Amino acid sequence: MASTGKTLGVTAIVIVGLGLIAGGITWAVLATTRSEAPPPEILPLDWWQHCVLYQIYPRSFKDSDGDGIGDLKGIISELEHFVDAGVDAIWMSPIFESPMVDFGYDISNFYRIHHEYGTMEDFMELLTRSHELGIKVLLDFVPNHASNESEYFIKSEAREPGYEDFFIWADGLEDPNNPNNTLPPSNWVSQFGGSAWEWSTKRQQYYLHQFAIQQADFNFRNQAVRDEMFNIMKYWLDRGADGFRVDALPYLIEADPADHGGRYPDDPLSGRVEFEPHQLGYTIPLYTKDLIELYDVVYEWREFVDKYLEENGGDTRVLFSEGYANVTMTMLYYGTGDVGGARGVRGAHFPFNFDFITDLSARSGARDFAYVVLRWLTYMPHGATPNWVFGNHDNNRMPTRFRERMVDGLNSLSMLLPGVTVTYQGEEIGMKDGYVSWEDTVDVEACNRGDENTYHLYSRDPARTPFHWNSSTNAGFSSANRTWLPVADDYQELNLALQKEAERSHYKVYQALTALKKRQKSLSHGEYSIRALSDSTLCLVRYLRTYDTIVLLFNVADNSDTVDLSRVAQLKLPATVYVSSVHSSRREGDTINGENITLSAGEAIVLRSEPVS
């Protein structure tokens, strides 16, 4: 305090002195400079820190050869779509050799392209063409498990030297009722239902699979496995991949029998009587999920990609980690201490933020939205980059979980919040879940956990139906008679071509938002304020001195709502409408003068106003 006072005193003396020497004009200039701080410093951001990241589900994006299955050539043929939409980076669900039990998440060869998707040449072309267009390409890295048809597993099952401990093998427990039988080593339940242990007649032991029986869990306590993961990453980075989305991390490591008297400890029972022992939910995954040791593996991977960059140059290679966990365990993926600073360790560039999927729905009010957004921003380590995910291949599509009228408001939120916007294929046009009958259901989770009456509770197929390009057969996705999943029946009213032609459409709103995101310094570098102006209306403000203030007003409720804009401190009226949701009566360029404003159900408007001072 004392030293601040002294400095001010000195400054004042200098100003007075100059004023005396050079006269009134100098005095006036100095006085202004003194009361107005210099414009804020705009530090350059790395490519991934403020990007629009788009998830492609390759099987359903675009089919080039008429077999009813999307492929790499199909993606290549539509790369312009990303430029047109304003997307900066794409990540693709797995494209590697696979028996397709879990549609590519059961990889049999991590170094090869799956034949239905194309060849290595196709992949190289995809990379080259994308890079020419300025689009980064991320691959899906699936470290937790490999297909039981992989060479790793075949060798491990045969106890080949070097591979014996590649997976989690264990003897069965004695069956008190039958001396000729054994029981699984523990009560662990698979994510897809049933015991997480499967008997191998060949090896006369059980192996662990946290997902499908055909997805055997690697043993991450084995250094050879860890080394192989580096080899896989290096292989694809050498080919030019810009980084990885990393799959299913909470399940990477399980309890070590060495810490539990030589046996695998049972997970505690949840006490939830609605579940039977073979059903997910019967136990609490204490020994099978979020184990603290797994984070060190992630930190090692970060060290690896950072070193790769150091040695090879080019742009930053990134790791975006996937996992559903509570906020504390999720934040650990970022690393600990000040991210990017000298203290602590660095982890994933970011863990995907699934809060909009897990914690918000059509039933949420504006206060819930504000609270959930602020929770992430509050818990995130200093200096880290936030991100916003609204859907993916594992969950019902965004307009289905929320309401159709909310599509533009939700896309506005994901685009205007600080950090990275993540778009799941179809969200840019507001695609809803497709209907998939039990006969057409192919998802292993639905088939394992459900039956004819309950499959829809688990099925991920509705979020995976093919992309709607246009109104022609199969929505322009494929020329096949039968596509791998049916095309949703609303494709003739809801598709990209129509939305490009229409004067107002979800797609046009999306384009306006990506353009704004790229241009506005208050979005890339500004402060944020997010709060509920009422039970229904959410207000997000992004502001940075000397730059336009951007305000999103979004009525998340199913009825209209009137709010008082004088409560938004940073908003200077009149303000101009930059973009509005398709059902809004407001248009680009409209002026908002009054302090009271009424928003219809689901209406969202993005306003531009004078900079804050």
Q: Which residues are catalytic?
A: 247, 322
> What does 597 interact with, of Ca ion, ligand FRU, Mg ion, none (CB < 5 to 8 A by kind)?
none
- Residue with smaller CB distance to ligand FRU, 102 or 548: 102
- Please tell me the total number of residues recorded for the chain in this structure: 613
- Residue with smaller CB distance to Mg ion, 480 or 515: 480
- Residue with smaller CB distance to ligand FRU, 142 or 607: 142
> What does 65 interact with, of ligand FRU, Ca ion, Mg ion, none (CB < 5 to 8 A by kind)?
Mg ion
CB atoms within 10 A of CB 116: 21
Tokens 């048809």 — which residue? 149
- What is the Cα–Cα distance from 409 to 604, expressed in whole angstroms? 5
Nearest Cα neighbor of 510 from 80, 86, 134, 136 is 86
Min. distance of Cβ 433 from Mg ion in angstroms?
23
**Encoding tokens for residue 431?**
């695609």
Give the footprint of Ca ion on this chain (CB under 5 A).
144, 217, 251
> What does 299 interact with, of Mg ion, ligand FRU, Ca ion, none (CB < 5 to 8 A by kind)?
none
User: Where would I find the beta strands (DSSP E) of 425-546?
Assistant: 527-532, 537-544
- Residue with smaller CB distance to ligand FRU, 102 or 267: 102
- What is the Cα–Cα distance from 577 to 355, expressed in whole angstroms? 29
- Strand 420-424 relative to strand 387-389, pairing: parallel
Question: Is the distance from CB of 53 to CB of 422 less than 8 angstroms?
Answer: yes
Min. distance of Cβ 543 from Mg ion in angstroms?
47
Min. distance of Cβ 125 from Mg ion in angstroms?
15
- What is the Cα–Cα distance from 546 to 610, expressed in whole angstroms? 8
> What does 67 interact with, of Ca ion, Mg ion, ligand FRU, none (CB < 5 to 8 A by kind)?
Mg ion
- Residue with smaller CB distance to Ca ion, 140 or 217: 217
Min. distance of Cβ 208 from Ca ion in angstroms?
7
> What does 105 interact with, of Ca ion, ligand FRU, Mg ion, none (CB < 5 to 8 A by kind)?
ligand FRU
**Encoding tokens for residue 451?**
């039956």
Min. distance of Cβ 207 from ligand FRU in angstroms?
16
The enclosing H or E element of 17 equals helix 2-22
3-state SS, residue 485: coil
> For residue 154, how many C-alpha atoms fall within 13 Å in the half-sphere facing its CB?
5
Question: Is the distance from CB of 285 to CB of 267 less than 8 angstroms?
Answer: yes
3-state SS, residue 537: strand
- Residue with smaller CB distance to ligand FRU, 285 or 418: 285
**What region, left, alpha or beta, does residue 58 occupy, with left being phi > 0 and alpha being psi -120 to 50 degrees?**
alpha
Residue nearest to ligand FRU (CB): 105
Report, in angstroms and rounded to the nearest whole number, the Rg of the chain calculated over CA atoms. 27
Min. distance of Cβ 95 from ligand FRU in angstroms?
13
> What does 251 interact with, of Ca ion, Mg ion, ligand FRU, none (CB < 5 to 8 A by kind)?
Ca ion
- What is the Cα–Cα distance from 430 to 404, expressed in whole angstroms? 7
**Encoding tokens for residue 319?**
């790791």
Question: Is the distance from CB of 127 to CB of 134 less than 8 angstroms?
Answer: no
Give the footprint of ligand FRU on this chain (CB under 6 A).
102, 105, 142, 211, 247-248, 322, 393-394
User: What residue type is assigned to position 187 of the chain?
Assistant: N
- Residue with smaller CB distance to ligand FRU, 93 or 474: 93
- Residue with smaller CB distance to Mg ion, 65 or 338: 65
The enclosing H or E element of 414 equals helix 407-416
Min. distance of Cβ 69 from Mg ion in angstroms?
4
Min. distance of Cβ 105 from ligand FRU in angstroms?
3
> What does 217 interact with, of Ca ion, ligand FRU, Mg ion, none (CB < 5 to 8 A by kind)?
Ca ion
The enclosing H or E element of 551 equals strand 547-555
Q: Measured between alpha carbons, how far is residue 156 from residues 146, 219, 228 in Å? A: 12, 11, 14
Site residues for Mg ion, 47-106, by CB under 5 A, read 63, 65, 67, 69, 71
Reported for 593-598, long-range contacts at CB under 8 A and 24+ positions apart, including other chains, are 594/565, 595/564, 595/565, 595/566, 596/562, 596/563, 596/564, 596/565, 597/553, 597/562, 597/563, 597/565, 598/560, 598/561, 598/562
**Residues in contact with Mg ion by the rule CB under 5 A:** 63, 65, 67, 69, 71
